[in-house]
Structure 1
């Protein structure tokens, strides 16, 4: 059961222009053919928990979808396209869903990412409803209420953060982060009609951080929802998100301290060298160091409703996903680096100069079979701490953290402190490939995009700074809210 039937609130939605009927969940359907009102649904603990579970389902679907799951790695150059099958046998072409974005030429009137934008704000509205109704529950303890609010606050912050990554220039784009951030919603549509304006980037990050800090004051030992603990936000995974936010904000001391806290106190340790490859290959459980992996949807019989394998998977020579590793990425790994074993090398028929030839393609093992969306894992925290330590001029810590990751991978250890900035950047690119970081890392470090192997875009390179490092606000949303300012260079 999922969250929010908006048909009775169409006028509100149209005015604000933030949500759409198609993207909103229907957690009010408690039984087939039986619907209740929002106030009835959220008047009981079970109703609120059903709604919260629905939010997780919506969030998983939103980040797992092609439009977001491939974005950072495709734009940054870790990914290229596999050849077509059937009537398009061997032909390399850009999937229609991301064609304009891939060429840094998305259009506001028909944006490839309009669904991501709309669904993200739908999720935020769902969180706000939970937050507005939970305190009034009479059948929940104060501890239970706090736990519910903690998770809703965290999801609200996470959704806003993802929106800011895609629709707002990186925090350091202007010296004081006075450039446009995003609309930050802290009230549901039930609170009435509003025409929200975009905050500055500085204000956006302050609100994200405030939500996360408030959430951390509320967490108890475990979620009240049924399912694997790693599928729901906890204090540890919320701190991991906060560390990522601080890193994006260039708040180096807080990024260092928060990542350090997660590393030392999360109760997890890095997956060992021996178990690293087999851990990723396990079809049923996440890697042991995973702080949060959103579970994939299954019906009552256990049938999978969708997973990242739809985009990255390989089954046979006539059944495989659209996205494979670029040679740009593969060439970064040393011969003895065990992470090279995370690729399935498969020969596929490819049309070259109108002749069908077999070429090798590299499918990632991270997302075969039925994987969930890996949101946070411990390796990232080591690399956050390393990057923050670099900016704090703690070179010994930088070397130690990078070498911890490299030692596990059997890669050559750093022996000096030269080019540490490049070392941190490249280690993130290798270790976190396909996990949604590269393009955001490029923007944060004010680097240029340079896509070589397999690039079939009109724009294979993009120099920083560029107005095209962010996507356009969907025109349909902008037209419904006169206070919503479009990103520069878009109509």
Structure 2
């Protein structure tokens, strides 16, 4: 199939070389958007490409699958299988990293087409619309287009680009930078290959434009009804600006945008609910902390992709037999969840009193326990044949409709922890401790701990808060959500090798940079 596809691409290339006038149409194609109500399709397409395309996996799913694999907080149940990148063998192409690249650029091209349509009309493609429609629909759609292009570039940058180094040259040219619609064969086949600096500047520019244009929330009767179902708003754009600035090591700006999300959301988002509430919605609903989510609840077009089972416990409504990812043993010891996981199966009190362990993790028992000694209501490994107890993520398929459970993409807890890290960097330990306490208290089970959080040794003050505390809290909070490697690269810290062996790897290492697809490099003249 790949040979056929490559031959087709090469045939088209040859044909285009012989026929440059192909791009000079005698009668231009009519716009697919003849009225404002149709223009919403311009964003629905990229949303689908990035977050819903596919069955076993979509681009967003693959993106955080590979990021989960390369960090320092996971071990792999099937280390002989090189499919998932646990060995950080990023010199080799993987089918699904290629899909991240190809589909991200499909989405970028789709967005460029729609933005060009608006620009060609001087910003007023539908001149007869009302002021209400201008504000609540046209500006919103353009804001979403910028958000989606920014998100596609953010995924590409964190997958295929060398980490951003504050004050460094950041001049590596690794991925194409396209912000306009191709109008000729030369333009289509020879795009600019952006530097690391230019790619991140584009990410910031798109999210900033989205931040300026997007509304804070859905307004019934004025906006397209689908806008209420998990799509990007001003706070999502601010959260992505916080992520992007954090990735670039611009901690003051990251703190500024994280603070906007936390302090200015008008009560739309808070941490008042149990941790699981962000992960158990199989309807048009979200947890109170969920800023953006994939609406997988739709029984016709929704459904979680099945490769989530590589790093989570559930497959639809049953325990998944092939889950590959589990918490790294050094991490378990550092957190105090298990003291010696390969010889002592005891779960420590630090785990038992943490609601994220009890609600969003799952204990899988060793495969070598004799049948006669197995306890009821326990899951014993069968397919991967592990000989010790493991702790795995249990964040997928947690709603009543299992595989149709919505997938959180941006959560408020992350923003608190980002602000805590940035405040600590700035020397504001009081703010860092306060934010860390908010996240820790939400996860604290006082009934198990037999003490209120504020009276416990875990309560943090400005005199004892450390960067390690914040980082470990973030590891627990965001476990298997693809965040850990981005966090370490954003903090400009070495990445531990965990169960792969002793030592650590520099955050700038190519071990965390996946290769651009071979076909792209061979047919894209920009790489020549």
TM-score by length of 1: 0.78
Q: State the distance in 2 between where 1:127 and 1:61 align.
A: 16
Deviation at 1:71, TM superposition (A): 1.9
Q: Which moved more, 1:230-239 or 1:260-269?
A: 260-269
Contact kept, 8 Å, 2:163 with 2:507, in 1: the verdict is no
Distance of aligned partners of 1:317 and 1:396 in 2 relative to their CA distance in 1, 3 Å threshold: closer
Does residue 1:118 correspond to 2:110, yes or no? Answer: no
Distance of aligned partners of 1:253 and 1:46 in 2 relative to their CA distance in 1, 3 Å threshold: same
Does residue 1:304 correspond to 2:350, yes or no? Answer: no
Does residue 1:443 correspond to 2:489, yes or no? Answer: yes
Instruction: Report 1:229-268 matches (<5 A).
Output: 229=228, 231-267=230-266, 268=268
Aligned length: 440
Q: Which residue of 1 aligns with 2:32?
A: 41
Flag the structure with larger Rg: 2
Helix, strand or coil: the match of 1:215? Answer: helix
| Cα displacement string for residues 278-306 of structure 1 (whole angstroms, at most 9, x for unaligned residues) | 55345544432000011227453x77363
Q: Which moved more, 1:263-272 or 1:50-59?
A: 263-272
Partner residue of 2:49 out of 34, 37, 58: 58
Q: Which residue of 1 aligns with 2:364?
A: 346
Q: Which residue of 2 aligns with 1:377?
A: 411
- In angstroms, what is the RMSD of aligned CA positions? 3.5
TM-score by length of 2: 0.73
Contact kept, 8 Å, 2:254 with 2:419, in 1: the verdict is yes
Distance of aligned partners of 1:51 and 1:433 in 2 relative to their CA distance in 1, 3 Å threshold: same
Q: Which residue of 2 aligns with 1:402?
A: 436
Deviation at 1:422, TM superposition (A): 1.7
Q: Which residue of 1 aligns with 2:294?
A: 294
| Cα displacement string for residues 218-265 of structure 1 (whole angstroms, at most 9, x for unaligned residues) | 224538443362510111111111111111122222111111111011
Contact kept, 8 Å, 2:364 with 2:389, in 1: the verdict is yes
Distance of aligned partners of 1:470 and 1:396 in 2 relative to their CA distance in 1, 3 Å threshold: same
Q: Which residue of 2 aligns with 1:426?
A: 472
Q: Structure 2: where are the runs of 5+ without partners? A: 1-7, 15-27, 119-123, 338-349, 370-380, 445-452
Q: Which residue of 2 aligns with 1:75?
A: 70
| Cα displacement string for residues 341-383 of structure 1 (whole angstroms, at most 9, x for unaligned residues) | 121223363699x996765343323213233332211111111
Distance of aligned partners of 1:306 and 1:472 in 2 relative to their CA distance in 1, 3 Å threshold: closer
Helix, strand or coil: the match of 1:116? Answer: helix
Contact kept, 8 Å, 1:13 with 1:189, in 2: the verdict is no
Instruction: Report 1:61-460 matches (<5 A).
Output: 61=52, 66-82=61-77, 92-93=78-79, 97-98=83-84, 101-107=85-91, 112-134=96-118, 135-137=124-126, 140=129, 141-143=133-135, 144-172=137-165, 175-180=168-173, 182-190=175-183, 193-194=186-187, 195-220=190-215, 221-222=217-218, 224-227=223-226, 229=228, 231-267=230-266, 268-272=268-272, 275-284=274-283, 285-296=285-296, 298=298, 300=300, 304=303, 306=305, 309-311=308-310, 312-314=312-314, 315-316=317-318, 319=321, 321-331=323-333, 332=335, 333=337, 334-335=350-351, 336-341=353-358, 342-347=360-365, 349=367, 359-368=388-397, 369-370=402-403, 371-410=405-444, 412-417=458-463, 420-453=466-499
Helix, strand or coil: the match of 1:165? Answer: helix
Q: State the distance in 2 between where 1:38 and 1:383 align.
A: 49
Q: State the distance in 1 between where 2:280 and 2:307 align.
A: 14
Helix, strand or coil: the match of 1:374? Answer: strand
Helix, strand or coil: the match of 2:492? Answer: coil
Contact kept, 8 Å, 1:75 with 1:102, in 2: the verdict is yes
Contact kept, 8 Å, 1:127 with 1:156, in 2: the verdict is yes
